[in-house]
């Protein structure tokens, strides 16, 4: 045993260390949340440390892939790749910020007013001053909760925080792989329930209510999130044979959850079931919130996220699929990225003939990082000004250095690997959209509405997204940014006495398509890697 000396901010600590283990494992054991999106496998390149004293082996190929020559010259290394054999002193360069909760803004969720019949149902036969219900969207990156007075039909409070599962990986498959062991599956379920419990406490405090007044709680999410919350069947989602099948995600004992959370005796806790495979109940809720199947023309819904879900209405059927784009849309995995929140740039603009972007920051405070929507603006601006080619390669003046977006209060640089990560996310979603258009045979002239949802979609500039092929070209006035349709649809279901019948009727219109088994997926993926407007597929047949 020997000592590892850690420095970050103004702190200094020493920890006993056993040779043969990685520094990343030390951080996990010590509860130090260093930035990482791959669970320590070396694929994200974010767990940066700087060696101050001590000898270590030369950088391995994984480190040379992720780190620049300048970084290596400054003794900057990846914690997951370092296994010291003697005493080392180092500085942590990329600590993960602690989870912070914020208020849900009205623009982040679609407007909804329960009808009189639904309110009468909750007001009937009770003298209780308030009967409360909670809607929850368990997203891969964010956890969103809203508290409702069920008898008055009023939203009393809403809170948004980060899903704590990020400590097990930023993408879905990494988390599912971690949950393949019973012990880790229980740990992931436990920290998720703890985060929901904290969110509930914050809701009732904000609304000046009590937890024991909550009589109904509904949860939507993509299939993987529901599986990880319930602590069941993670292995099945790792098996392609189950990707087109219905998966029962219901927890075995929600009564214990209600008791532990301090909710009303007999409180109903329900996880709305997913549609199929990786298409979860968050898309089902989004279909209800947008009433996609009630449109008189062709309509497309894209719920952007780590697992992006897509639905296309062709007048008769709802074609649905999911695309594993990864966390780039949420700003995660990007070297200068962060989720949309205080300190994140949410919009970027560049004028013709200029080289510097002007950035708008959420909260108008100190710039801390770049959100997904600003990343779209920056990439579109670079393509428009000729500093980024359609294939994702920087112009010569940026090839070695990347794009410096800020120097103070901290250096923020967009690197080539960030562009690569975004291109892969965009290509996966683009392939999904084009596939559904192919399968439905919908004519371009028949597409009359595009609904964009998700935290990423709340801030998106339509023109930028269309310029680089993130969404189909359509009159921008026909593209609607809807906010969190998953939470909005979940709120509607709180007041739906016949929600199971509604969901069943909607499912009968759905034609699920497994993108991973599409023989043309690979070619469509490569086609959509290019940063240019999306090509409409050939073979149009549907006259609507």
| Average pLDDT taken over every residue of the chain | 87
Q: Give percent of the chain above pLDDT 70.
A: 96
* Domains located in the chain, CATH noted: 2-92 (3.10.20.30), 102-281 (3.30.420.480), 290-326+421-527 (3.30.420.40), 336-414 (no CATH)
- Across the range 88-104, mean pLDDT stands at 79
Digit-coded pLDDT (tens) for 434-492: 999 998 999 888 999 999 998 787 788 999 999 999 999 999 999 999 999 999 999 99
Q: Tell me, what's the pLDDT at 530?
A: 96
Of the candidates 98, 94, 100, the residue with the CA atom closest to the CA atom of residue 24:
94
Q: Tell me, what's the pLDDT at 333?
A: 79
**pLDDT over 50 (residue 540):** no
Q: Tell me, what's the pLDDT at 426?
A: 94
Digit-coded pLDDT (tens) for 277-297: 778 899 999 999 999 999 988
Give the pLDDT band of residue 9 (cuts 50, 70, 90): low
- Across the range 17-40, mean pLDDT stands at 79
- Across the range 185-194, mean pLDDT stands at 86
Q: What is the largest CA-CA distance in the chain?
A: 74
Q: Tell me, what's the pLDDT at 464?
A: 95
**pLDDT over 80 (residue 327):** no
248: number of Cβ within 10 Å: 13
CB 23 within 8 A of CB 8: no
148: number of Cβ within 10 Å: 28
CB 300 within 8 A of CB 306: no
Q: Tell me, what's the pLDDT at 61?
A: 92
Give the pLDDT band of residue 244 (cuts 50, 70, 90): low
Q: How far apart are CA 237 and CA 247, in angstroms?
A: 9
> Among 207-211, 282-286, 485-489, 535-539, whose mean pLDDT is lowest?
535-539
Q: Tell me, what's the pLDDT at 252?
A: 76
Instruction: Look up residue 399 and give its DSSP letter.
Output: H
Q: Tell me, what's the pLDDT at 3?
A: 87
Q: Tell me, what's the pLDDT at 329?
A: 84
Q: Tell me, what's the pLDDT at 543?
A: 46
- C-alpha distances out from residue 493 to 114, 196, 197, 221, 488, Å: 10, 19, 21, 14, 9
Sheet-wide strand order for 344-349: 358-361, 344-349, 369-370
**pLDDT over 70 (residue 544):** no
Q: How far apart are CA 423 and CA 376, in angstroms?
A: 10
**pLDDT over 70 (residue 356):** yes
**pLDDT over 90 (residue 261):** yes
Q: Tell me, what's the pLDDT at 431?
A: 94
Of the candidates 100, 101, 215, the residue with the CA atom closest to the CA atom of residue 147:
215
- Across the range 316-338, mean pLDDT stands at 84
Q: 51: alpha, beta or left, given left = phi > 0 and alpha = psi -120 to 50?
A: beta
The two tokens of residue 417 are 């690997």
Q: Tell me, what's the pLDDT at 98?
A: 57
Sign of CA pseudo-dihedral 40, 42, 88, 1 = positive
Query: In residues, how long is the chain?
Result: 544
- Across the range 328-356, mean pLDDT stands at 84
């Amino acid at each position: 045993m020997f000592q590892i000396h850690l420095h970050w901010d103004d702190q200094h600590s020493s920890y006993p260390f056993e040779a043969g283990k990685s520094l990343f494992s030390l951080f996990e054991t010590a509860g130090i949340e260093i930035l990482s999106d791959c669970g320590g496998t070396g694929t994200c390149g974010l767990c940066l440390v700087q060696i101050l004293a001590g000898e270590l082996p030369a950088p391995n190929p994984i480190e040379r892939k992720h780190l620049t020559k300048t970084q290596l010259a400054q003794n900057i290394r990846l914690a997951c790749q370092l296994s010291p054999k003697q005493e080392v002193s180092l500085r942590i360069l990329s600590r993960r910020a602690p989870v912070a909760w914020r208020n849900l803004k009205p623009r982040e969720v679609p407007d909804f007013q329960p009808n009189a019949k639904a309110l009468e149902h909750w007001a009937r036969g009770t003298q209780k001053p308030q009967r409360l219900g909670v809607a929850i969207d368990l997203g891969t990156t964010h956890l969103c909760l809203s508290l409702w007075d069920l008898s008055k039909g009023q939203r009393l409070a809403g809170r948004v925080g980060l899903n704590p599962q990020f400590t097990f990986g930023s993408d879905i498959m990494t988390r599912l792989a971690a949950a393949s062991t019973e012990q880790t599956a229980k740990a992931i379920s436990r920290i998720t329930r703890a985060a929901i419990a904290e969110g509930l406490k914050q809701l009732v405090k904000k609304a000046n209510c009590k937890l024991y007044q909550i009589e109904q709680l509904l949860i939507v999410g993509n299939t993987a999130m529901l599986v990880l919350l319930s602590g069941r069947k993670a292995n099945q989602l790792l098996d392609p044979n189950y990707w087109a099948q219905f998966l029962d995600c219901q927890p075995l004992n929600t009564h214990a959850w209600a008791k532990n959370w301090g909710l009303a005796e007999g409180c109903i806790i329900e996880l709305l079931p997913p549609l199929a495979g990786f298409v979860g109940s968050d898309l089902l809720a989004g279909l209800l919130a947008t009433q996609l199947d009630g449109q008189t023309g062709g309509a497309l819904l894209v719920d952007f996220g780590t697992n992006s879900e897509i639905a296309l209405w062709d007048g008769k059927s709802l074609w649905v699929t999911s695309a594993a784009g990864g966390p780039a849309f949420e700003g995660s995995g990007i070297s200068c990225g962060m989720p949309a929140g205080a300190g994140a740039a949410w919009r970027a603009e560049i004028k013709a003939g200029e080289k510097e972007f002007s950035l708008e920051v959420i909260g108008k405070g100190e710039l801390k990082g770049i959100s997904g929507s600003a990343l779209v603006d920056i990439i579109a601006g670079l393509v428009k000004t000729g500093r980024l080619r359609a294939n994702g390669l920087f112009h010569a003046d940026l090839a070695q250095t990347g794009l410096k977006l800020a120097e103070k209060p901290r250096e923020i640089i967009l690197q080539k690997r960030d562009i690569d990560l975004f291109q892969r996310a965009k290509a996966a979603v683009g392939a999904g959209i084009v596939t559904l258009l192919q399968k439905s045979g919908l004519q371009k002239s028949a597409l009359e509405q595009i609904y964009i949802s998700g935290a990423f979609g709340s801030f998106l500039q339509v023109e930028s997204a269309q310029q680089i092929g993130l969404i189909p070209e359509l009159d921008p006035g026909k593209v609607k940014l809807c906010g969190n349709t998953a939470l909005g649809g979940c709120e509607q279901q709180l007041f739906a006495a016949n929600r199971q019948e509604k969901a069943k009727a909607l499912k009968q219109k759905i034609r699920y398509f497994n993108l991973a088994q599409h023989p043309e997926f690979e070619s469509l993926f490569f086609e959509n890697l290019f940063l240019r407007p999306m090509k409409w597929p050939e073979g149009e047949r549907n006259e609507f």
